[in-house]
Amino acid sequence: MEGGVARVVTDLVRAQVAEGFRTVVACPPGGVLAADAAEAGARVHPWPAVRAPGPRLAGEVLTAARLIRRTEPHVVHAHSAKAGLAARLAVRGRVPTVFQPHAWSFEAVEGRAAALALKWERYGTRWSTRTLCVSETERRVGEQAGIAARWSVIRNGVDLQHFAGDDGTARPAAARAVLPMLKRIPPEVPLVVCVGRLCRQKGQDILLTAWPQVTAAVPDARLVLVGDGPDREELIRLTPPGVLFAGASRDPRQWYRAADVVVLPSRWEGMALAPLEAMACGRPVVLSDVSGAGESLPPGHEAFGLVPADDPPALAAALTVLLTNRALRDRLGRTARDHTRATCDVRQTTAAVSGLYQELLNSPQPMTRKRTER
């Protein structure tokens, strides 16, 4: 209902409405997605569902099935694990169905829960006309896990006009001046910004563990965590000196522009939007090496911007290199901005998704298939 998936859905709605599609969004009421999708032109229907599978699942599937019958869609596009589960159970191949995991459910859990999630993904693919991944690495993870899907890969994109920065060389002092939390921080103070939901996936706890090593080398450095989520109180408890919590932001553009470096230490992803947005603003990024991260970066940036996942010392070392080398930051920022302009336009992403819909509707082949479990 919030974060990257909500932005992806809203971008698709905006483009599809402009193309003349009748676009319906079913989601829990009251969240960012419901409001933004309606503003973008979708017909929003409340779907009372919770985030995780549980005893309410049967009722959620039944409600989804009724909604789908009532709205009579030509294509159902289910985003992320929970909606992917409910929608495929509700439709079961009767309508062309695109499933877009936005990172695999079995990567988010451990032990028995991971085994059950993987078993479902292997089984549920029979009801996916197409499984749409946002990076080649996300597809490979699914394929290596034994998911026998019909695959498509369409990389995430961002609104380049909205996130257009300067030429990548201007200092972030102007952006800091309009953010009340930063007005008392001198422009020369090195600033790292992390934008993301405060949860285990995004790895802010890894970043906080790494931060004392950063400040040992760069004593005046500051870190700002932009976002909210279930781990906020625990993260505050872990917070070392030099860290600020900014809360959620509907538009993080000024935070990217205020930063010297943007970091996202995720434990898993499909392809995160925050690094693309930051690079579009001309800022260098440091990412954990999870699905989509390497594909996000311009060629040659891996040596500076890609670190092993869940590795605080490596994360601290990468941040320290960038914070102590302004010329390197400026060069990487310029290259990042040019790279996103050439490869990460959301208009290309939405056009490719529309093309996928047309391909499915024009296909003479059966929409889904039964198969023998491996």
Helices (H), ranges, 92-186: 111-124, 136-144, 173-177
- Side-chain half-sphere exposure of 349, counting CA atoms within 13 A: 27
CATH architecture of 3-157+347-362: 3-Layer(aba) Sandwich (3.40)
Mean pLDDT within 282-308: 95
Give the percent of the chain with pLDDT over 90: 85
CATH 3.40.50.2000-classified regions of the chain: 3-157+347-362, 173-344
Residue 216 CA to chain centroid, in angstroms?
31
Of 149, 103, 154, 102, nearest in space to 129 by CA: 149
pTM over 0.95: no
Q: What superfamily in CATH does domain 173-344 come from?
A: Glycogen Phosphorylase B; (3.40.50.2000)
Residue 163 and residue 253: Cα distance in Å, rounded? 6
Confidence of residue 165 (pLDDT cuts 50, 70, 90): low
Q: What is the pLDDT of residue 374?
A: 34
- Asked if residue 99 has pLDDT above 50, the reply is yes
Residue 370 scores a pLDDT above 60: no
Where residue 1 falls among pLDDT bands split at 50, 70, 90?
confident
- The percentage of the chain sitting over the pLDDT mark of 70, rounded to a whole number, equals 95
Please give the pLDDT value at position 173: 82
Residue given tokens 């007005």 in the structure block: 183
In this prediction, residue 281 carries a pLDDT of 94
Q: Which residues on adjacent β-strands are paired with residue 151?
A: 131
Check the CA dihedral 316-319-321-323 and report its sign.
negative
Q: What is the pLDDT of residues 222-263, one digit of tens each?
A: 999 999 999 999 999 989 999 999 999 989 999 999 999 999
Question: DSSP state, 240?
Answer: P
* Phi, psi dihedrals of residue 11, rounded to the nearest 5°: -60, -40
